[in-house]
Structure 1
């Protein structure tokens, strides 16, 4: 099985610094000269590296032992005496998955014993040394399971760039860093969320709004305030159930419409069920940090933005069930302002275009992008993504929009607003100009050397055009780099790109861990999996959260 370096999968430009995440690391680069500034590393990176190294060594030793035994014992009529099970074998079975110093080393011995005790020949040994889950086994023993690889799934920052936020998906942790403005990060806090975050944003009032894969939206303060003057710990891990409030923020006196009363009753039922499940096991003092449940969908959440209209804020959320909901901001997040309903497939991402606060653009599994008056829940226009994708990949039959972005391009007549999109598995960036009539015109296809995973645009500075920073997956194009920088130019209203010098990350590339192509795909290609299966297959006939649970890949965290 071929392996390759884990590519960059998240990029975020802020000021003169580019933050780029690959695996469990966040690197920072100068936008002046492309030089590397610093690296933050998730604590689990070294653990995974140690286990992978030890397991690989054990597998190699076992393979050598098998080959030697086949060569020397092919004519033997009797196998050697069966090795007795020892107490330390039991200990190995019960050792934790991450204990590489014991389980991986024992695995090599166990594999050798299996070969000596197996009189059925080399071919059957090959077939029996793996179980259905891919673990190497040896008559009740197995190699150490490699821990889940740490992968940074979200990176964002405050508007002033003083704080950077990241999410590691495998352990559901939100990390907050202080940024010195020069690319160096100082970790301030880490907070484990009840469910895996799928989208996060930071509000102007220093609140983190977090949507998760089970449909809930929470708020938590950006900066952790110790619970008592004597508390100095910045590490906090809540009881997942106890993070929900004991009573809804609303009541029948503050909610009047039939729809919102139904939402309130649903929230009360959820709280009651949570209370019953919690029983006496909940902590009396609650979680170690402030966490407030704001609202919930009955489907996996995929997108989240904060909108503003007439000096009032709103929370806009998109889900797998084709819905976009507009809810009021804290403390009235239980009040639904409107729905944007026109998608027939999952919503992959939503964006409020720069300088056009009451307009929303959405895309996902449908063929088109939709332009909305989001407060009124009205479609203003739509444009085809599939037709553009077919310009460079004629065989394309469907698209899965994985990212939507917005930028301003300076011109003699003023700043022009553009919407930029990427689609999973399509080697291109698509862009449109958003006109004053709220239509997407001047479509452009900017081809890439490999599949895009994420992109970020720098802000236009001193009337200089913005730049695009793109993380790509070079698996099918080994000579391509994973991190690219492009200068934007305007040609008859259409955006085009000119390649800029690459970010200088050669030494980082050499030190990066390797993974199999299938593993990289399972980690980084998740958008098309949101498309619901039809035709009566597994999960057919289910609805809402039940269908989500049935269709989430086996690797998905179900907690």
Structure 2
């Protein structure tokens, strides 16, 4: 891509990729480009190689400054065509533009109309129509006081958003109405009271790194799981109920990502990727002995509560041990040993933990 991507999503018909970038733009890319698309892109690049000829001449300029600019253009034209910029060599169409850094994008369909929702660093959630009317802005969900890093549609169709605020926000997004604010920072502080890696209460802030809607059709609850950067736990919220308190689900490492799998005839299990290199609750300190578990599994029981699935973990870890060592280590063996240990540690931190950097420094708004 021309700029660094920050989030991607598939449209409801699974034909188009929506790619949001750090400069506030959303591009539409065909999931399977057609031969016609490739031919049109090739023609565009051939046109860019044409020799540049200034449209002005010495008879049309009206000032000394313009004359100097024309002379520079003529010198450039004599050097031959300019080197073409490295741009994507595939069909991509700009469909949405923000004036702030984009952090997440999601899309959905209501009735016959599709919508694209985008979140940015400036506390905005924009609701736009889907392709080909994405230039039409339906409205904004406003209420966040800090950056928005993640948005997610729940099973019941509500929009759930989170970022640098100490709350999780739940919206009736079609009417741009904030339904409720669920405390997020409080349950984490309460759960880890007394732990050696308890976050300080004075300067501790949450930075939401992931929100996932639980696809459990067997349970009536509309539930989401939330991860915060540098926190070795997930927080479970059941939306629309009488309880507004999230339940903390502790893990053996900081949460990096999550995916749901279905086992045992419909039982939903969350496979959680955890950081086995850094200390629990820290994005800076490295463990003296790296943890052995990189994946952990949480399964929902009959009462809808999450519990660690040790049996599934043993089965899958046993399967991974059957893969020959040379196959598992082929990638690391082929990589050259570049940079010092400190450089590698910093590169790893920057790769895994980048959400907190979205928080604006004091005075930047001025």
1:363 Cα deviation from its structure 2 partner: 0.4
Output the CA distance in 1 between the equivalents of 2:223 and 2:2.
Answer: 36
Contact 1:432 1:494 in 2 (8 A): no
Output the CA distance in 1 between the equivalents of 2:102 and 2:38.
Answer: 37
Query: Which position in structure 2 is the counterpart of 1:326?
Result: 127
Query: Which position in structure 2 is the counterpart of 1:211?
Result: 20
Match of 2:278 among 475, 486, 504: 475
Query: Which position in structure 1 is the counterpart of 2:247?
Result: 444
Contact 1:365 1:401 in 2 (8 A): yes
Query: Which position in structure 1 is the counterpart of 2:109?
Result: 308
Query: What is the CA deviation profile of residues 220-249 of structure 1, one whole-angstrom value per residue up to 9, with x for unaligned ones?
Result: 100122348999xxx99x97xx9xxxxxxx
Query: Which position in structure 2 is the counterpart of 1:520?
Result: 348
Over 6 Å off, 4+ runs: 228-231
Report SS of the residue matched to 1:408: coil
Q: Structure 1: 5+ residue runs without aligned partners?
A: 1-192, 243-278, 543-559
Query: Which position in structure 1 is the counterpart of 2:299?
Result: 488
Contact 2:268 2:300 in 1 (8 A): yes
Output the CA distance in 1 between the equivalents of 2:107 and 2:142.
Answer: 18
1:326 Cα deviation from its structure 2 partner: 0.4
1:509 Cα deviation from its structure 2 partner: 5.6
Change (3 A) 1:208 1:281: farther
1:343 counterpart = 2:148:
no
1:407 Cα deviation from its structure 2 partner: 1.1
1:347 Cα deviation from its structure 2 partner: 0.5
Change (3 A) 1:229 1:373: closer
Contact 1:199 1:303 in 2 (8 A): yes
Output the CA distance in 1 between the equivalents of 2:116 and 2:109.
Answer: 9
Change (3 A) 1:287 1:423: closer
Change (3 A) 1:228 1:362: closer
Q: Which TM-score applies when normalising by structure 2? A: 0.72
Report SS of the residue matched to 2:35: coil
- Name which structure has the greater RCO, CA cutoff 8 Å, separation 6+: 1
Query: Which position in structure 2 is the counterpart of 1:247?
Result: none
Output the CA distance in 2 between the equivalents of 1:423 and 1:431.
Answer: 12
Q: How does 1:279-298 map onto structure 2 within 5 Å?
A: 288-298=89-99
1:308 Cα deviation from its structure 2 partner: 2.0
Match of 2:10 among 196, 202, 227: 202
Contact 1:299 1:321 in 2 (8 A): yes
Output the CA distance in 2 between the equivalents of 1:444 and 1:371.
Answer: 17
Match of 1:428 among 233, 238, 255: 233
1:505 Cα deviation from its structure 2 partner: 4.7
1:419 counterpart = 2:230:
no
Query: Which position in structure 1 is the counterpart of 2:266?
Result: 463
Query: Which position in structure 2 is the counterpart of 1:381?
Result: 180
Query: Which position in structure 2 is the counterpart of 1:59?
Result: none
1:408 counterpart = 2:222:
no
1:451 Cα deviation from its structure 2 partner: 1.1
Contact 1:404 1:420 in 2 (8 A): yes
1:480 Cα deviation from its structure 2 partner: 1.6
Output the CA distance in 1 between the equivalents of 2:246 and 2:231.
Answer: 16
Q: Which TM-score applies when normalising by structure 1? A: 0.48
